[in-house]
Structure 1
């Protein structure tokens, strides 16, 4: 049973990272606006992060999918998830009406902003799956466990 949980955690998080990164690849302007909306980074850093986040998410997902450096890749992914949770949480506390830019990028919302509570809960679930992979990686089908 633990192997099943480990397999689900590893492959589902690979899917999450790859699908999140693919959305960001060809939408640089909207991604920059989504990052700028957090009001944390300067325009220069928002632009740089918009260029880097998508490819890095895809790379992390591929590492999990192929089983290359499972524990180190999962530790980095856990750190990134914590940063995402902090970013969304600070936007919520400051009353910013933004889109997180996670799986769809709509920085100029005509409706209300995202549901911060649900987004943080989702990210906490992703963090739990990622930490499970750190604790007990699914090594079957791994190139380098």
Structure 2
């Protein structure tokens, strides 16, 4: 009977030890998602904002928008990305920011996929116009899918520590 109790105690101890470890892993994923996305959005927005001509050329390369629209998009996309990153960094409306991030990334994937399907040779302009020499469509789409997963973590389990308002 004593052996049975010690086995039960051991299994409870193992279960108890796994719960904090799993909790820590979830916290770490949540932290990395929130602050990683904040960095990504701020960096990408800054790169686009400092080179509006290059950003406009990247937008025009997708062959979706007129030159007037491409110029307008090039002017607003950088500041909007910076604003989204700051919202995540400060922890303001984390779930909503994660949803917006996922939708924007999905739109980027659609744009990249249509350019790839049409055989266009583009520079995605993701992190500035001159960030890459050769566009790897599959890698870019997979990277954006990872960023969508990070956005969804911000929606489902936002890292609220250091948040002003979540």
Deviations 1:3-52 (A, max 9, x none): 11101110000000000000011211111111001000011110000000
- Between the aligned partners of 1:26 and 1:70, the Cα distance in structure 2 is 27
Deviations 1:91-143 (A, max 9, x none): 00000000000113139x9x6x4000000000000010001111110001000
Measured on the aligned residues, the alpha-carbon RMSD in Å equals 1.4
In structure 1, stretches of 5+ residues that fail to align are none
1:123 corresponds to: 144
Match runs of 1:16-95 below 5 Å = 16-95=40-119
**Bigger radius of gyration among the two:** 2
Q: Does the 8 A contact of 2:51 with 2:128 survive in 1? A: no
Structure 1 segments, 4+ long, off by >3 Å, are none
**Which structure shows the bigger proportion of residues in helix conformation?**
2
Which structure carries more relative contact order (alpha carbon 8 Å, separation 6+)? 1
2:153 corresponds to: 132
* TM-score, L = length of structure 1: 0.94
